[in-house]
Amino acid sequence: MTIQIGDRLPATTFSHATADGPRPVTTDDVFKGKTVALFAVPGAFTPTCSARHLPGFVDHLTTFADKGVDTVACVSVNDAFVMKAWAESQSIGLDEIMMLGDGNGDFARAIGLTMDAKGFGMGERSQRYAMLVKDGVVTQLNVEQPGEFKVSTAEHLIAQL
């Protein structure tokens, strides 16, 4: 079942890309007591994700902070090493965007937002979405239709704050 507005995020563990290497973080570590703008991409280094999705959130970090968002986080079915390399390739500091690896897709499956990308040689991946999470509860959820990039943008999520 797909997660809905008002649902609490399921307990899971991510691999967080840090300057000192991967570090496990739980959903409580990321979301408890915080307001988090979380966006998911099908894959690091993929065209739309690299050219538009991640840069859009970086461009609006100050706006998110001004509107009460404590953390902006990006999650992908990639490992933390890939997430770190992707941030570095985009000249993004790991203190700016929390880069979360969901290497086995456990989080994506737990919230019901996976997609079959086998046709692209990518296996099971996360759908593209953006959500606002307050203290572990989803307050906004914007899931893209296949091939679209409209409702998961930073600008769309900011308009909902």
CATH (domain of 136): 3.40.30.10
Domain presence at residue 8: no
Domain presence at residue 7: no
Domain count, the chain: 1
Catalytic site residue 74? no
Question: In the chain, which stretches have pLDDT less than 70?
Answer: 117, 121, 123
What DSSP state is assigned to residue 42? S
Domain assignment of residue 154, given as a range: 13-159
> Using an 8 Å Cβ cutoff, are 49 and 42 in contact?
yes
The predicted pLDDT at position 150 comes to 96
The predicted pLDDT at position 89 comes to 96
Domain presence at residue 6: no
- Of 36, 41, 49, 92, which residue is the catalytic one? 49
Distances in whole angstroms, Cα of residue 107 to Cα of each of 12, 114, 160 = 6, 9, 24
Domain presence at residue 73: yes
Domain presence at residue 53: yes
The predicted pLDDT at position 123 comes to 61
Domain presence at residue 70: yes
User: Which residues of 63-113 form beta strands (DSSP E)?
Assistant: 71-76, 98-101
Domain presence at residue 133: yes
Domain presence at residue 4: no
